[in-house]
Amino acid sequence: MTQAVATYEQYEADFRKLQEARSAEPDWLTELRSAAFARFQELGFPVARKGNEPWKYTDVRPLAAETFPYETAAAASVDAAQLFPFDDGMARVAFVNGRFSQELSTPSPDGLTVMPLTQALEEHGEDVRRHLAQHATYADEAFTALNTAFLADGAFVLAEGAVEMPLHIVYVTTERVATHPRTLIVARPTSELSVVESYVSATGGAHFTNAVTEVVLKDGAQVTHRQLLLENHETYHMANTRVHQSRDSAYRSLVYEAGGGLVRNELMVLLDAEGAEADLKGLYVSAGKQHVDNNINIDHAKPHGYSRLYYKGILDEQSRAVFGGTVMVRPGADKTDAHQEDKNLILSHEAEVDSKPALEIYADDVKAGHGATAGAIADEALFYMQSRGIDPERAMLFLVRGFVSEILDSVTIEPLREWLEESTTQALPRFRDKR
Amino acid sequence: MAVPLLEVRGLHVAVAETEILKGVDLAVSEGEVHAIMGPNGSGKSTLASVIAGKPGYTVTGGEVLYSGESILKMLPDERARAGIFLALQYPVELPGIRNREFLRTALDALRESRGEDKVGIRDFNKLLEAKAEELGLEPEMMKRNVNEGFSGGEKKRNEILQLAVLDPKLALLDETDSGLDIDALRVVAEGVNRFRGPGKAIVLVTHYQRILNYITPDFVHVLIDGRIVRSGGRELALELEKRGYDWLREGAQTGAAPSA
């Protein structure tokens, strides 16, 4: 317990320092920051226990027991080609240890405004103020509160019209620090945008990433959002993504998790107007002692909404995964069509998954379904491949690739899809360096 | 005399404590087609599966020799690379694995084990297209996942396509005819007949003699209750069609199994 106290003291000291350094920022932001930090102090880190259903299977005590400094030295140099070789042909905005990196970033493509949040406060103050912290609320979310208290550089993305070039937002960590990456994406009416948001470690060794992302889709906007969690296995990664959809907008998401030691990903999509469409896909690949927890919520607030949620997991060695998903269909959200599914492939007797999809329906004339499965590779499939001359190791690799293809085939950026496929097998030690 | 390609000697096989095969003897030489017939539950599929190395069966006695060597300790993929092929009674669906990629990987595995180079993609596609056309399978199906969404007849034809492309020495066909309409049956039989030849051997497991109208066997064996109770030529199958299996079953029960 004393260690946790030390942790809280560290956050407080860091917060005071940050407040002083940011004394020139607008009053509303100072107030937001202070309120959020006060709320974090009240809430404390969530506790895994009975009755606290969303945190029942994920214990963050090891994180609470460690301190990670917030202040960092000047950003170390980073080898982009080695750390994220998949972003050829994309625009890029990069952050190293939470600080914007001009060196690693490219100019914004046509139709897109991309800049650090600090700069956006001056140049797009109205958009920032209208949306920042409006969707990712911190009242019940300790990690969001902490992120909001510490929000600094972060990424501001504003899309207008059809943006052809995909954007890569990358947060790199090079040392033992706490970072609180904040991303705000606003897609103006009928705009089209493709974003890859990735998290990578430049080295081994623990760090703490506490990310919050807000995505706002105005009427008819279409956003394809791919979040890649690729950090090292010592890392604590807490992610909160909140999506707000207006009329006839379409949000397509892929959450890809192959990295991180203790990962908690919370994604909440609010379909807040008629005709909104959300397609959420996920792939988590875990080995060693990794723990990956996905908590995905789709909130149908208005009629004629459509949502599909499809997550898949591959677990090996002693890893553990948690899937909690809720599809909520609120009163009046009639004619909603929703489906969610979580499928797990378990390669080791020591790996474990807890999958709990749920539906809450309070409207009429709703089409909704859900399912969850967990199983090993089918003996008959393995035998079938062997009976054609394919050795068991290669057959397994084939079956694993087949399993993930349903998710990865949705990635229409070919170099990225190929990289993800390769990364998936490399994330499983039994297949490493095999083809 | 040359060593038979396949020789089964006094084979006893159990599945979870229950004895299914109770001493089966069978010798199949190159160039021959053997039909194994019998009622449901007689052990026909078990025999084919055990030869191919399918897990779940325990050999409690006897031997299976392939080119004179015991294969019972070999893994299924090792047997396949040695030239044994089993067309499954219920072909398995492989989600996310494309037919074309699957077959090319299998062919490469066989070639690799023979010390040959991998097949060129263009050569392979040409081969696959030609073989698929012979079996009336749309080229589009080669891009689809293995057996996923295929009709029963398409699955069986896909098995014969694999036989044609992989070109083994010994083909075990496990009720490849069941569930096929007459047109599909003819196409499948033609595929098997194209495979048939001097260096090849076929063991055809079937419940009905219908397919033997198209694939003329050299030998017919009747398997009842885990034993081959009678062996003969083509005419035995015709007799079975007229008289059913019961006249042999009674013989089997009294222990008066007639010899071939």
Tell me which residue in A391, A392, A402 faces B94 most closely, judged by beta carbons. Answer: A402
CB contact (8 A) between residue B77 and residue A387: yes
Tell me which residue in A380, A389, A403 faces B77 most closely, judged by beta carbons. Answer: A389
The amino acid occupying position A274 is E
| Integer angstrom CA distances of residue A93 from A120, A170, A172, A425, B28 | 14, 6, 11, 28, 69
Report the alpha-carbon distance of residue A95 to residue B44 in Å, rounded.
66
Chain A closest CA to B89's CA: distance in Å?
Answer: 11
Give the confidence band of A6 by pLDDT, cuts at 50, 70, 90. Answer: confident
Chain A closest CA to B3's CA: distance in Å?
Answer: 24
pLDDT at A78: 87
Tell me which residue in A379, A395, A402 faces B95 most closely, judged by beta carbons. Answer: A402
**Greatest CA span in chain A, whole angstroms?**
71
Chain B closest CA to A383's CA: distance in Å?
Answer: 7
Assess if residue B11 is contained within a domain.
Answer: yes
Q: What percent of chain A has pLDDT over 70?
A: 97
CB contact (8 A) between residue A391 and residue B109: yes
346-385 in A: which are within 8 Å (CB) of B? 378-381, 383-385
Site from B45, B71, B77 to mutate, A interface, most A CB atoms within 10 angstroms: B77
pLDDT at A77: 79
Chain B closest CA to A378's CA: distance in Å?
Answer: 10
Chain A closest CA to B246's CA: distance in Å?
Answer: 34
**Cβ-based contacts of A403 with chain B (< 8 Å):** 95-96
CB contact (8 A) between residue B96 and residue A405: yes
pLDDT at A1: 45
Report the alpha-carbon distance of residue B167 to residue B154 in Å, rounded.
19
Site from B84, B94, B119 to mutate, A interface, most A CB atoms within 10 angstroms: B94
Assess if residue B171 is contained within a domain.
Answer: yes
Assess if residue B225 is contained within a domain.
Answer: yes
Tell me whether strands A192-201 and A155-159 are parallel, antiparallel or unpaired: unpaired
Instruction: Confirm or reject contact between A395 and chain B (CB < 8 A).
Output: yes
Tell me which residue in B56, B97, B106 faces A389 most closely, judged by beta carbons. Answer: B106
Statement: residue A153 has pLDDT above 90: no
Residues on B contacting A at a C-beta cutoff of 8 Å: 52-56, 75-77, 79-81, 85-86, 88, 91-92, 94-97, 102-103, 105-106, 109-110, 113, 145, 162, 166
Chain A closest CA to B84's CA: distance in Å?
Answer: 8
Domain range spanning residue B124?
Answer: 6-254
pLDDT at A23: 86
CB contact (8 A) between residue B102 and residue A398: yes
| Integer angstrom CA distances of residue A14 from A6, A45, A275, A319, B29 | 12, 17, 45, 33, 83
**Cβ-based contacts of B85 with chain A (< 8 Å):** 387-388
Instruction: Confirm or reject contact between A12 and chain B (CB < 8 A).
Output: no
3-state helix, strand, coil in chain B (%, to 5): 40, 25, 35
Assess if residue B259 is contained within a domain.
Answer: no
Report the alpha-carbon distance of residue B190 to residue B194 in Å, rounded.
6
Q: What is the CATH number of the domain that holds B241?
A: 3.40.50.300
**Greatest CA span in chain B, whole angstroms?**
60
pLDDT at A433: 66
pLDDT at A399: 94
Assess if residue B108 is contained within a domain.
Answer: yes
Tell me which residue in A384, A390, A401 faces B109 most closely, judged by beta carbons. Answer: A390
| Integer angstrom CA distances of residue A87 from A174, A196, B56 | 19, 9, 48
**Cβ-based contacts of A405 with chain B (< 8 Å):** 96
**Cβ-based contacts of A380 with chain B (< 8 Å):** 92
Chain A closest CA to B76's CA: distance in Å?
Answer: 5
Instruction: Confirm or reject contact between A405 and chain B (CB < 8 A).
Output: yes
Report the alpha-carbon distance of residue A40 to residue A37 in Å, rounded.
5
CA-angle at A177, arms to A176 and A183, nearest 5°: 135
Higher pLDDT, B120 or A50: B120
Chain A closest CA to B103's CA: distance in Å?
Answer: 8
pLDDT at A49: 79
Q: Is B82 left (phi over 0), alpha (psi -120 to 50) or beta?
A: alpha
Assess if residue B1 is contained within a domain.
Answer: no
Site from B71, B89, B92 to mutate, A interface, most A CB atoms within 10 angstroms: B92
pLDDT at A75: 63
Tell me which residue in A384, A398, A406 faces B88 most closely, judged by beta carbons. Answer: A384
Closest CA to B205 of B37, B55, B13: B37
Question: What value does the mean pLDDT take over residues A133-145?
Answer: 95
Give the confidence band of A434 by pLDDT, cuts at 50, 70, 90. Answer: low
pLDDT along chain B (260 residues), means of 10: 91 96 97 95 96 97 97 98 97 94 96 94 95 92 94 94 97 94 93 96 94 95 96 92 84 46
Chain A closest CA to B175's CA: distance in Å?
Answer: 16
Question: What value does the mean pLDDT take over residues A11-33?
Answer: 91
Q: Which of A7-11, A124-128, A162-166, B113-117 has the weakest average pLDDT? A: A7-11
Chain B closest CA to A271's CA: distance in Å?
Answer: 31
When computed from its CA atoms, the radius of gyration of chain A, rounded to whole angstroms, is 21
The ipTM (two decimal places) reads 0.94
* DSSP helix/strand/coil, A381: helix
Nearest chain B residue (CA) to A406: B96
Tell me which residue in B79, B81, B97 faces A398 most closely, judged by beta carbons. Answer: B97
* DSSP helix/strand/coil, B7: strand
* DSSP helix/strand/coil, B24: strand
Chain A closest CA to B206's CA: distance in Å?
Answer: 20
CB contact (8 A) between residue A399 and residue B102: no
Give the confidence band of A72 by pLDDT, cuts at 50, 70, 90. Answer: low
**Cβ-based contacts of A425 with chain B (< 8 Å):** none
Tell me which residue in A380, A388, A404 faces B106 most closely, judged by beta carbons. Answer: A388
CB contact (8 A) between residue B76 and residue A387: yes
Give the confidence band of A52 by pLDDT, cuts at 50, 70, 90. Answer: confident
Tell me which residue in B77, B105, B110 faces A398 most closely, judged by beta carbons. Answer: B105
pLDDT at B236: 93
Please state the domain count of chain B. 1
User: What is the overall mean pLDDT for chain A?
Assistant: 94
CB contact (8 A) between residue B97 and residue A401: yes
Assess if residue B260 is contained within a domain.
Answer: no
Bridge partners, B65 (sequence order): B7, B70
The amino acid occupying position A75 is A
Contacts 24+ apart (CB under 8 A), B138-143: B141/B99, B142/B98, B142/B99, B142/B100, B142/B103, B143/B98, B143/B99, B143/B100
* Joined tokens for residue A137: 């609320």
Nearest chain B residue (CA) to A401: B96
pLDDT in tens, A219-278: 999 999 999 999 999 999 999 999 999 999 999 999 999 999 999 999 999 999 999 999
